[in-house]
Structure 1
Amino acid sequence: MESAVQRDWTLRPQKSNKQEAARTCISDRSSRDYVGGFERPRPAHLSRQHVEFLPRRPRQVPPLVTVSVRSSSPYAESNFSSISVDEVKTPSRIFHKAQYEQAGTYASCVELDDLESGSLSSNNDEKGSYCEQPEARRSLVPTEIYAEKIATKEELQALQNLFPLPPVRGSPSRNRFRYKYLSCYRELMVLVFAINIAAIIPMIICLRQNDRSFTYENAATATGANLLAAVMMRQEHVINTLFHLVCALPNGTPLWIRRQAAKAAYSQGGIHSAAGLSAMVWYILYIALLVRDFTGTHGEQTAIWILTSFTMFLFTILTAMANPPFRRTFHNVWELSHRFSGWTAIALIWAQLLLTTTSTAHQNDQPIMIILLLTPTFWLQTLTTILLLYPWIRLRRLPITAHNLSSHATELRFPNRKLKPCAGITLSHNPLLENHKFATIARPTPTGPQNRGFSVLVSNAGDWTQRLIASPPTHIWVRGGPITGMLRIASLFIPLVLVATGSGIGPCLSFLNTRRKRHSPCRIIWSARSPEETYGRGILEDVLRADRDAVIVDTRRSGHPDLVGLAFASVRSMRAEAVVVVSNPRVTKEVVFQLEVRGVPAFGAIFDS
């Protein structure tokens, strides 16, 4: 039979002499009834029920010092139970629930097997640990409605009135140039362009003076170096290393250094774009020098002109379709063109390299392999090809469990796979045609193989996600390894304000589930349409567990809030060092811009891929 224990928690003032207090409180009880100065309560009543009701302290109560049982009924007075008092001990998860949860009465399901086997006892805390077990966390079902946790219009306005949004400093044109056009992404682009221009100018001067010291081999080397840099900035291990180096900065580092380093960590796409454009410019010079210097047979010259013309056409397609407006409007077309045109261009460059090397070997009467190994372009192309093939070597089809949260969102769970926080993965039904990147929610400190895993929160944002929610699969393709996401830089700033809209709360939970609350205070601002109905009570519980004073906005009831005003007021109220925004491109750019022009460090995704 299933059983349950009803307990009552009260406060007792702390005594000055801790040893004397311990002797008085413990008396004939064993020392295992005390943890960190707290006394676990004794059973007050036993009955044949399957639910355990746990009264908890209101948040206004001072920190718990010493806990005692206000009424402890002897076991003889219980006429409804067949188990002894000694067989029922207070597990750590009950202790943690009473200490950390909000005020209210909760129902926590207790399994019969657990009671009979004694797995809920205090000497087996790992199984029932509230702080470490996401399953135990999800089994917590409140009997009260979360309506009071949703902020009203009046509450939102009152928060903004405490710290009104100040006027923007400087002229609008200067602010747009400084914080929009001259972003860290474009600063990295300018840096890469400057390096390439410094190398191109001497070559152009030599060409005008008919100096043959620069050859098409030099231009081919520069083209290969830029292509390698462009591919490296999209390689998962390179990106993860950049984030690891940046996040290794101590929190005592000056704020302006951490701010610039954080921006550079997730703006590496600027190097990718600039290196790709520079490779195209170098390739044009390569063609010009090839026309002047290449002296192969008629067949070799015909073949080299066909190869170079087709490669130049592919470079033009890649550059034109990578234009941001076109990429946003025709994302699937851009993805296909970028993948297949890029692969084809690399293959054509390999063909040109082999053709020119063969021609040079025949003219100089040398082995082809010797000349090839002494050519820098060969090694650059080899590294580029390996980096392109690497994600596809790790392509795998993984089992998933889909949990429909609503008609608008679903949660994909990947069991038995450990993943670091703030990481993203690439999912697909057909990897060659369509791939989608999603942030993951890592489970905090798994204690066993059955508790390992991570999940992905998917909301309806297009045809692909709509089909996934309507007909969730049992398996899905995952390409490459996990890639550290922008939210990883949030650990650099303490305190911190997180602003999320819709399913953007998913990446935030990946960060919040693994942070240390005491050492990294954080304020959450989450705006979503019917958050409890859309994303489920479990997600709402996770948010409130991470920040019990979280600002949760139901846009169906309160309309779209002033996220800039709420974020600024939260920064001032808790003296936060920075704001991290996880939302759609329009909201992210606007909130980041409005905060930065007011002197608040703000960070948001780039959306360049």
Structure 2
Amino acid sequence: MSLHPLPPAGAEHRSRSHYHALFGLVMLVNLGVIACQLYRHGWAELMASPNALAGLAMANIGMAILMRQSLVITALFWLATRAPVTWPLGIRRHLAKVYHYGGIHAGGACAGTAWLALLVGSLLSAPGDQHPPALRWTASALLGYLLGMLLSALPAVRARHHDAFEKVHRYVGWTTLLLTWGLAVQLGPSAGQDDARGGVPESALLVFLGMITASILLPWLRLRRIALDVQRPSPHAVILTLAGTRAPFPGSAMAISRSPLGQWHSFANIPAAGQTDFRIIISRAGDWTGQFIDDPPRHVWMKGFPTAGVAYIEVLFRSVLYVATGSGIGPVLPHLLAGRVRMRLIWSVRSPRATYGDALVDEILAAQPDALIWDTQRDGKPDLLQLSWDTAHDMKAEAVICIANRALTDAVVNGCEARGLPAYGAIWDS
């Protein structure tokens, strides 16, 4: 392979810029709403309208919840990838950033909490007999729980205490839903007062809250127990075949758990050659995965619908270079097997055949004879950015999709983007 020296990086780039832009857009819209409310009614009137404040809080929090609903996520990916490859690359490269939808989720959660804080301020500052104590306590408790969820989602906290973050969002999330219903019901008696000030009718609050609740419950209505066929090619990885379950679309993931009330983790769905079943690759990357490999269950629980992942955006490009490390081959393999676009693979992995088995490696090479499988045990760790740049230049790739750990993903994605080559990878957003 010829060596193509990396050109100097352009303006500083960060792979989360689209995430931040969407977050900022949500905040700007909310600032526009509050400016409009202040212009029309003034501060005193706004603070005297608890239903209006509650409606704005619920609208934002509802948006945050919907942006984590698998059907909504997949619909966003489907819409973004309707653009044909004949469109200018400058447009397609931005459409492919659809997976930064987490910016809307985080923006909605923050804005909704801010509106709720105004609601609590409104209730606490009103005369003592204007609102019942239960309403004030419910709103204050809800605000406290939401602030706790926001604090647990801060990047530094989430990275250091990921298990705690998951538990807070699971159990506190259900608690906040119950408190929100309590708040909406208790606000009912003041709806008539608020209507004159542009407030939200009680019926609208309850209907909207019902939609949010249905969105949360829907995945649980598809809870099912699936039998497993477990292959353990090494102490580092297991390959699960989910028997009797039809393979979802390429580029999707499903959440599985050993127990419905335990931890849930999403893994890429890999079609099994010549079968309707599909597979999941789990590599050792923490306590949960380590226990799963050392003591694999005979069944797992699955809920919800297939959710599109970052690599689903490949169809926006004529040619794609996939860069994967270790178990990152799991999300990439369905695309290699589907062969929907011209592609090439770089897989950096420690002892690939010993770790993942001959059958999997042979399957990859059958789908991608030109794949570069870099054995880090034999050849050491490669310079993935330089290797990606060389390969993308040789194959005239329109985009690079990297599935690796956070440090390597940032290095490859930011390095390519800073030099004008569209690149994509997980952003570990909240």
2:80 to 246, 268, 284: 246
Q: Which runs of 5+ in 1 are unaligned?
A: 1-158, 365-370
1:194 aligns with 2:28: yes
2:249 to 420, 433, 439: 420
Report the 3-state secondary structure (helix = DSSP H, G, I; strand = E; otherwise coil) of the residue aligned with 2:427. Answer: coil
Identify the residue that residue 212 of structure 2 maps to in structure 1. Answer: 384
Identify the residue that residue 312 of structure 2 maps to in structure 1. Answer: 488
Once the 2 structures are TM-superposed, how far is the Cα of residue 372 of structure 1 from its aligned partner? 10
2:327 to 496, 503, 506: 503
Contact kept in structure 1, 2:52 and 2:200, CA below 8 Å: no
Give the residue type in structure 1 aligned to 2:382: P
Identify the residue that residue 216 of structure 1 maps to in structure 2. Answer: 50
Give the residue type in structure 1 aligned to 2:255: T
1:375 aligns with 2:197: no
Report the 3-state secondary structure (helix = DSSP H, G, I; strand = E; otherwise coil) of the residue aligned with 1:424. Answer: strand
TM-score, with length taken from structure 2: 0.93
Report the 3-state secondary structure (helix = DSSP H, G, I; strand = E; otherwise coil) of the residue aligned with 2:132. Answer: helix
Cα deviation digits, residues 66-104 of structure 1 (max 9, x gap): xxxxxxxxxxxxxxxxxxxxxxxxxxxxxxxxxxxxxxx
Contact kept in structure 1, 2:252 and 2:306, CA below 8 Å: yes
How many percent identity over aligned positions? 35
Once the 2 structures are TM-superposed, how far is the Cα of residue 213 of structure 1 from its aligned partner? 9.2
Which structure is richer in relative contact order (CA contacts within 8 A, separation 6 or more)? 2
Contact kept in structure 2, 1:457 and 1:506, CA below 8 Å: yes
| Structure holding more helix per residue | 2
Q: Which runs of 5+ in 2 are unaligned?
A: none
Within 5 A, what are the aligned runs for 1:241-280?
241-263=75-97, 265-280=98-113
Once the 2 structures are TM-superposed, how far is the Cα of residue 525 of structure 1 from its aligned partner? 0.3
Cα deviation digits, residues 530-569 of structure 1 (max 9, x gap): 0011011111112211221211110011111011111101
Contact kept in structure 1, 2:15 and 2:413, CA below 8 Å: no
Give the residue type in structure 2 aligned to 1:408: H
Give the residue type in structure 2 aligned to 1:537: D
1:540 aligns with 2:384: no
1:243–1:280 Cα change, 3 Å: same
Once the 2 structures are TM-superposed, how far is the Cα of residue 290 of structure 1 from its aligned partner? 2.8
Contact kept in structure 2, 1:226 and 1:275, CA below 8 Å: yes
Identify the residue that residue 4 of structure 2 maps to in structure 1. Answer: 163
Contact kept in structure 2, 1:233 and 1:269, CA below 8 Å: yes
1:453 aligns with 2:274: no
1:557 to 372, 378, 382: 378
Within 5 A, what are the aligned runs for 1:440-479?
440-443=269-272, 446=274, 451-479=275-303
Once the 2 structures are TM-superposed, how far is the Cα of residue 400 of structure 1 from its aligned partner? 0.8
Report the 3-state secondary structure (helix = DSSP H, G, I; strand = E; otherwise coil) of the residue aligned with 1:532. Answer: helix
TM-score, with length taken from structure 1: 0.67
Cα deviation digits, residues 40-62 of structure 1 (max 9, x gap): xxxxxxxxxxxxxxxxxxxxxxx
Within 5 A, what are the aligned runs for 1:89-104?
none
Once the 2 structures are TM-superposed, how far is the Cα of residue 208 of structure 1 from its aligned partner? 5.8
Report the 3-state secondary structure (helix = DSSP H, G, I; strand = E; otherwise coil) of the residue aligned with 1:240. Answer: helix
Cα deviation digits, residues 209-230 of structure 1 (max 9, x gap): 6346961111111111101100
2:417 to 575, 596, 599: 596
1: CA distance, partners of 2:127 / 2:376: 66
Report the 3-state secondary structure (helix = DSSP H, G, I; strand = E; otherwise coil) of the residue aligned with 1:437. Answer: strand
Identify the residue that residue 115 of structure 1 maps to in structure 2. Answer: none
Give the residue type in structure 2 aligned to 1:261: L
Once the 2 structures are TM-superposed, how far is the Cα of residue 162 of structure 1 from its aligned partner? 2.7
1:354 to 164, 167, 185: 185
Once the 2 structures are TM-superposed, how far is the Cα of residue 415 of structure 1 from its aligned partner? 2.2
1:319 aligns with 2:150: yes
1:474–1:433 Cα change, 3 Å: closer
1:291–1:534 Cα change, 3 Å: same
Once the 2 structures are TM-superposed, how far is the Cα of residue 325 of structure 1 from its aligned partner? 1.1
Identify the residue that residue 400 of structure 1 maps to in structure 2. Answer: 228
Cα deviation digits, residues 448-484 of structure 1 (max 9, x gap): xxx2110001111111111111111110011211111
Contact kept in structure 2, 1:206 and 1:214, CA below 8 Å: no
1:230 aligns with 2:64: yes
Identify the residue that residue 529 of structure 1 maps to in structure 2. Answer: 350
2: CA distance, partners of 1:329 / 1:578: 32
Report the 3-state secondary structure (helix = DSSP H, G, I; strand = E; otherwise coil) of the residue aligned with 1:162. Answer: coil
Report how many aligned residue pairs link the two structures. Answer: 425
Identify the residue that residue 405 of structure 2 maps to in structure 1. Answer: 584
Contact kept in structure 1, 2:323 and 2:400, CA below 8 Å: yes
